[in-house]
Structure 1
């Protein structure tokens, strides 16, 4: 279900550049709390501005303030019940609420499903709604409406709209249903059809889940050669560190990641330091392992995994 929320907020609809230049920048900087403050102030004077209302719902959603986000998405639906994206976002937030409270989840599921179905009905080309339905039908138990058959129907619709999305959706379905050969086949088809970093990452994650680190590493290297993305250096180093393979290659990639790091790479440098500490632990190099784990802990002291790694290093 978390995939639903990530997908539904990817194409954030930013409002007028003239009126909302500062808000747009805050979204780009991921400063959603401040953006929400500015939007609330704006809406006090312009309470019927639908773009601002939607953006405020998005700002609360990014902060995982689901109840607040629902208020604004519901307001949008009351104004325009024929807008597919409003139904999509409303259903996505309800789904996240369901994840947080399993006792109340059953009460939300009907509304979640009907919201996504309505979005798909209103917009025959709405890829996000169909992705959400694929995930929902696969994750729900059959007794409360789960259905692999239904999931595959929406995957077919996705494939008609976008072959890459259709292949990725089918890969997800078969991976979830423990049919690894079919899952691998469709993830590879997605790479042939689209070849994006996202396609490669799906196959990499699949191989990791199948405990096939050599294949995961090979796929990450192929992706790096094609796309030249610094984030893939971290991916290679992570696989090396987690599975104790190709350690020298992992060291080189992690050092390159740190040297070339920018905020766009996504994974904080602290995690690269943690992976370096893992590799030096395998190599029984206590001093260098301690150096890097201390850097990781200094940057992100709340991460328990880092402290556990330091205990392992101290026990060398």
Structure 2
């Protein structure tokens, strides 16, 4: 009898697994509306399935349906209050909802804090929740509980879990608090400790924000030596074009990017042509600048900076 029951249940279990795997595939393809529909259909027959409910919340979040995501994650928190990730996701969508309406944001602050804090209490290794608290306490005004010391407290907890995350968190805190020497120090420590593209990107953006494009380019070049990513050629060209420096190097890097381009590089080729148009505009090479901007506009006709750059070229 038990064997028969298992055989009867098998098609349902297989269907359940296949349905949820399909959702993961749809997420990977960024087909979030389709994923929402699949999960909703699944939940009609399996309303107590928490994995499906979490996927539904994720589908709502990807579509910026914050109200629906809040309701969904709240159900998960109520059903399993001991699961740290449910609290983390609930706090996250509350935060996104608060960003939509700053007048109502005040009413969300307490729940956002408590959700992230609960996640850290339930899971001593929850890195994402600690990152969220680092950023939250730095961005909140003091009157609403913002606190650099609390941000640094969670940065210390991150460092105990992962030196790289701790260094990056401290770099973020000091950059936000306009202490550039300390920010630079910790971003460099993160590169020395971990050396990931994320670490290099943090330092690069820091230099760009501080109007130090030469240092930004040197950092990207160091990243390229370690990681050999074609996308870094675009980044060098972008900095050169935006700041009107090292134009020959920028042009060469952008040409290399285009010659080796693949979809995994992320930035569409049109943007590389736009950057080349900028560089040739600085060089007063009107014909070449116009040729590149025409390609950019043909590939992405709705991008306003492309059209603005064409006007500059025509005025040469």
TM-score, length basis structure 2: 0.91
CA contact 1:190–1:199 (8 Å) conserved in 2: yes
- How far apart in 1 are the matches of 2:236 and 2:312? 23
Within-5 A mapping of 1:38-49: 38-49=38-49
Give 2:187's aligned residue: 187
Give 2:67's aligned residue: 67
Q: Say if 1:234 and 1:72 are closer, same or farther in 2 by CA, change over 3 A.
A: same
CA contact 2:19–2:42 (8 Å) conserved in 1: no
> Which structure is richer in relative contact order (CA contacts within 8 A, separation 6 or more)?
1
Q: Say if 1:88 and 1:225 are closer, same or farther in 2 by CA, change over 3 A.
A: same
Within-5 A mapping of 1:235-250: 235-250=235-250
**Displacement, 1:17?**
6.1
Give 1:219's aligned residue: 219
- How far apart in 2 are the matches of 1:292 and 1:92? 41
Aligned residue pairs, count: 301
- How far apart in 1 are the matches of 2:227 and 2:52? 36
- How far apart in 1 are the matches of 2:283 and 2:244? 10
CA contact 1:170–1:183 (8 Å) conserved in 2: yes
Give 1:103's aligned residue: 103
**Displacement, 1:38?**
1.6
**Displacement, 1:131?**
0.3
Give 1:279's aligned residue: 279
Unpaired runs of at least 5, structure 2: 1-15
- How far apart in 2 are the matches of 1:24 and 1:44? 19
Structure of higher CA gyration radius: 2
- How far apart in 2 are the matches of 1:144 and 1:181? 28
Q: Output one character per residue of 1:111-136: Cα deviation in whole Å (capped at 9) or x when no partner.
A: 11111111111111100000000000
- How far apart in 2 are the matches of 1:297 and 1:43? 45
Instruction: Verify: 1:205 aligned to 2:194, yes or no.
Output: no
CA contact 1:168–1:187 (8 Å) conserved in 2: yes
Q: Output one character per residue of 1:86-117: Cα deviation in whole Å (capped at 9) or x when no partner.
A: 11111111111111111111111111111111
Q: Which moved more, 1:130-139 or 1:17-26?
A: 17-26
Q: CA RMSD in A?
A: 1.5
**Displacement, 1:184?**
0.3
**Displacement, 1:260?**
2.6
- How far apart in 2 are the matches of 1:33 and 1:256? 37
Within-5 A mapping of 1:93-172: 93-172=93-172
- How far apart in 2 are the matches of 1:228 and 1:254? 15
Residue 273 of structure 2 aligns to a residue whose secondary structure is: helix
Give 1:257's aligned residue: 257
- How far apart in 1 are the matches of 2:306 and 2:268? 13
Q: Which moved more, 1:120-129 or 1:275-284?
A: 275-284
- How far apart in 1 are the matches of 2:259 and 2:57? 37
- How far apart in 1 are the matches of 2:68 and 2:297? 34
Q: Say if 1:65 and 1:292 are closer, same or farther in 2 by CA, change over 3 A.
A: farther
